[in-house]
Structures are given as structure tokens and as C-alpha cells.
């Protein structure tokens, strides 16, 4: 009997780790191409063009085994399309949400193209138009999206992940934009960050994560960029974070996501 008692006790100790294993928790990643992982390589064949192994949501989830990732981010998404097509996976049990959206609302890709190919006047006008949209239309669009996220995932911590400065305003070599245009484009990123931060700050369990800080010193036109310049192969990767850039985003999120 004493032997059986010892065996029973040992079996109980052996089983303890399995029963004590932390349960998985839901992580839902929302947003546009910056969240989908354009620039990081290894893409899915779907229209959303997600990076299967290099996007920051995947990297963060891989580093946190208790997180079960639902990857809804889709290239080309605006705040409106995130609202309409990506929130179905949210629920009361969702623990974490990341969302990167707003750049496409402002037509930032078109502004980049104009500043690349057009005159100084064209670039300035395009930046002014993007800035006008960010200041006038994006606040309501962002609030509508964030309110919907909170309604569908009332218990989640939500991380609004911002965009970087794309271009260094320092000397740089081989840069396709002159210093004036670089400054104009970065000012648009600043306005976008300000609006997203302002409309995150007053919300409980919402946190703004500043992409400008994450990739600071590694913009296009630096010696070691973590953002693609004008891509010579896959043009869609142009001015999106590289694999190293997404790793930096994932590392930054590890510091704040709890």
C-alpha cells in the first residue's frame, strides 16, 4: 500500500505541469500592408498578400506561445475596410488586438508617387491634400473603428501601431528624394501619428505605439535602412518595413503588450 501511495504521488507530480500549462489567449491582428507584412517576404497567395513568417504580428505571436494569432490584416486596407471586413474574429475572449490603419485613408501611397515623379509644386500639393484628409476625415474614421473594436472585444488590450518616418532627413547617399521632399513626406507621417495618438489616448486599455521611434535611424537614405526604398523587384515592397523592420516592430510590441 505504501508503494502504491508513492507511485500515485509521483504520477500526480508528473501530471502537474500539463494541468498547469497556461491556456492559449486570442490575439487578433488588424490593419493594412504594414501589418500584413509587405516588405518582409514569404507571402501568401491571397489578395491580402500577408507575410506568412515575417510580419510583426506573426513574430510577436511566435515569441509568445500562449498567444493564438488570428491574422486578419490585409494589404490596401483603409480604416473603413478594416471596420467592414476584419472585425469578425473579435470576441469577448480576445486578449490582444493590434491595428495599423490610416495611411491608406490619407492616400499616402499616391502622395509618395507624386513626390517621386512630380514637380516640387506637385509634391507640396499632394502632401497638403493628405494632411487635410488626416486632419479632417481620419479622426472620425479612427474613432468609429476603435469604438467598434472595443464593442466586439470588450476585454482586449488594443495597440494602435503607428507608421514610421520613411526617409532620413540627413545627408544620405543615393536617395531618390531631395531633402525638401523628404521633410514634406515626414511631416505627413508626423501629422498622422499625432491624430492616431490623440484618438487613442482617452480610451481605456488602448495604447499608441509610435512607429517613428521603432525605426528611428533606419529610415530610407540611412546606411542601414529597415525600410525598403524604391524596390527594383517587387514594387509593392517599396517604402514598407523590411524583415528587420518587422523584427523591430515585434520587439517594441513585446515591451508594451501585456
CATH of the domain at 186: 3.40.50.1110
Q: Is residue 17 part of a domain?
A: no
Q: Is residue 6 part of a domain?
A: no
| pLDDT, tens digit (0-9, with 9 covering 90-100), for 13-72 | 344 444 335 688 999 999 999 999 999 999 998 899 999 999 999 999 999 999 999 999
pLDDT of residue 174: 65
| pLDDT, tens digit (0-9, with 9 covering 90-100), for 77-112 | 999 999 999 999 999 999 999 999 999 999 999 999
Q: Which residue has the higher pLDDT, 241 or 19?
A: 241
Q: Is residue 9 part of a domain?
A: no
| Structural domain range at position 215 | 24-256
| pLDDT, tens digit (0-9, with 9 covering 90-100), for 10-20 | 333 344 444 33
Q: Is residue 40 part of a domain?
A: yes
pLDDT of residue 22: 63
How far, in Å, are 10, 113, 122 from residue 117 at the CA level? 73, 6, 9
Q: What distance in Å separates the CA atoms of residue 246 and residue 51, rounded to the nearest whole number?
A: 10
Alpha helix stretches (DSSP H) within the chain: 2-20, 33-36, 56-63, 79-85, 108-117, 120-136, 138-152, 179-201, 211-214, 243-256
Q: Is residue 8 part of a domain?
A: no
Tell me the percentage of the chain whose pLDDT exceeds 90: 84
- The number of folded domains in the chain is 1
pLDDT of residue 240: 97
pLDDT of residue 173: 65
| pLDDT, tens digit (0-9, with 9 covering 90-100), for 243-255 | 999 999 999 999 9
Q: Report pTM.
A: 0.90
pLDDT of residue 62: 96
Q: What is the mean pLDDT of residues 139-150?
A: 98
b (16+ CB within 10 A) / e for 68-82: ebbbbbbbebbbeeb
Q: Is residue 2 part of a domain?
A: no
Q: Which residue has the higher pLDDT, 2 or 186?
A: 186
- Residue 7: which residues within 8 A CB-CB, separation 6 or more? none
Annotated catalytic sites, by residue?
A: 33, 240
Q: Is residue 19 part of a domain?
A: no
Q: Is residue 228 part of a domain?
A: yes
pLDDT at residue 156 above 50? yes
pLDDT of residue 231: 76
pLDDT of residue 128: 98
pLDDT of residue 232: 72
Amino acid at each position: 500500500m505504501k508503494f502504491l501511495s508513492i507511485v500515485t504521488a509521483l504520477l500526480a507530480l508528473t501530471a502537474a505541469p500539463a494541468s498547469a500549462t497556461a491556456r492559449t489567449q486570442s490575439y487578433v491582428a488588424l490593419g493594412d500592408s504594414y501589418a500584413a507584412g509587405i516588405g518582409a517576404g514569404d507571402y501568401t497567395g491571397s489578395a491580402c498578400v500577408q507575410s506568412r513568417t515575417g510580419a510583426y504580428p506573426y513574430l510577436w505571436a511566435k515569441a509568445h506561445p500562449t498567444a493564438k494569432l488570428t491574422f486578419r490584416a490585409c494589404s490596401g486596407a483603409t480604416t473603413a475596410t478594416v471596420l467592414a471586413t476584419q472585425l469578425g474574429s473579435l470576441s469577448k475572449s480576445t486578449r490582444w488586438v493590434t491595428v495599423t490603419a490610416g495611411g491608406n485613408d490619407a492616400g499616402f501611397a499616391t502622395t509618395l508617387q507624386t513626390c517621386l515623379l512630380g514637380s516640387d509644386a506637385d509634391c507640396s500639393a499632394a502632401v497638403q491634400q493628405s494632411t487635410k484628409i488626416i486632419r479632417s476625415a481620419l479622426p472620425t474614421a479612427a474613432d468609429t473603428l476603435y469604438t467598434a473594436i472595443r464593442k466586439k472585444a470588450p476585454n482586449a488590450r488594443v495597440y494602435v501601431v503607428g507608421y514610421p518616418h520613411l526617409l532620413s532627413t540627413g545627408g544620405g547617399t543615393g536617395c531618390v528624394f531631395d531633402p525638401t521632399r523628404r521633410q514634406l513626406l515626414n511631416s505627413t507621417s508626423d501629422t498622422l501619428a499625432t491624430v492616431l495618438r490623440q484618438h487613442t489616448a482617452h480610451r481605456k486599455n488602448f495604447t499608441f505605439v509610435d512607429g517613428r521611434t521603432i525605426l528611428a535611424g533606419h529610415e530610407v537614405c540611412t546606411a542601414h535602412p529597415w525600410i525598403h526604398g524604391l524596390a527594383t523587384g517587387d514594387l509593392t515592397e517599396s517604402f514598407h518595413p523590411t524583415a528587420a523592420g518587422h523584427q523591430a516592430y515585434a520587439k517594441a510590441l513585446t515591451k508594451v503588450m501585456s
